[in-house]
Copies of this chain bind each other. A is one copy, B any other.
Amino acid sequence: MVQKLKRLKRELVKEGAIVNMYTDYIEMPDGRTVKWDFIEHKKGAAAVVAVLPDGKILMVKQYRNALERITLEIPAGARDSVTEDTSVCAKRELEEETGYVCGKLEKMLSLKSTVAFCNEFIDVYLATELTPGKQHLDEDEFVDVAAYDLTELCEKIYAGEIQDAKTVAAILAYANRIR
């Protein structure tokens, strides 16, 4: 029977900009102590499936340093603070990255991105009743915006052209919902 494991100690290794690294000392059921990596995401995040009146979905292209490539993702970003409601974060990130303001916002999914070693969470929302406005990116942010048909996005997922896990989960959840 699976049970909670006892953490004997959590040692801070390094405080980063958006994550902190720790070494955890875990007591195994057989009495051994093992050392596991733990990456703490400082703020958590929100992401948005934003559907235009014509049914197309807003996507952002951006360069991802961790992957050394340009990715196609749904709009998303970290919370401003640990107390920010993720629905507020979702609206803000949608407007910052795409310029669009949404009239209706609905929670679709709660995701944990990397359960093996990190506590990052991403709440995924469905945004509709969109009206165009002006993009206003953070100073470290450079993104292109484009709208795609749902069918095309699903094809890109199955072809391996979209690999970002939150985007894959969010688009497939939306596809399941409306089909």
A135-179 contacts to B, CB under 8 A, are 139-140, 142-144, 154, 157-158, 160, 163-166, 168-169, 172-173, 175-176, 179
A179 CA to B176 CA, complexed, in Å: 9
Contact check, A4 vs B63: say whether CB atoms are below 8 A apart. yes
Nearest B residue to A38 by beta-carbon distance? B66
Contact check, A114 vs B118: say whether CB atoms are below 8 A apart. yes
Residues in B whose Cβ lies below 8 Å from that of A120: 114
A66-B116, A113-B114 in contact; A16/B37 too (CB < 8 A)? yes
Partner of A3, one of B32, B35, B63, B119: B63
Centre residue among A26, A45, A172 by max chain B CB count within 10 A: A172
Task: State the Cβ distance, A17 to closest chain B Cβ, in Å.
Answer: 5
Contact check, B115 vs A73: say whether CB atoms are below 8 A apart. yes
Nearest B residue to A166 by beta-carbon distance? B165
A113-B165, A140-B28, A165-B165 in contact; A65/B19 too (CB < 8 A)? no
A21 at the interface (CB under 8 A from B): yes
Instruction: List chain A positions with a Cβ less than 8 A from chain B.
Output: 1-5, 7, 13-14, 16-19, 21, 23-24, 26, 28-29, 32, 34-39, 45, 61-68, 70-71, 73, 78, 108-122, 139-140, 142-144, 154, 157-158, 160, 163-166, 168-169, 172-173, 175-176, 179
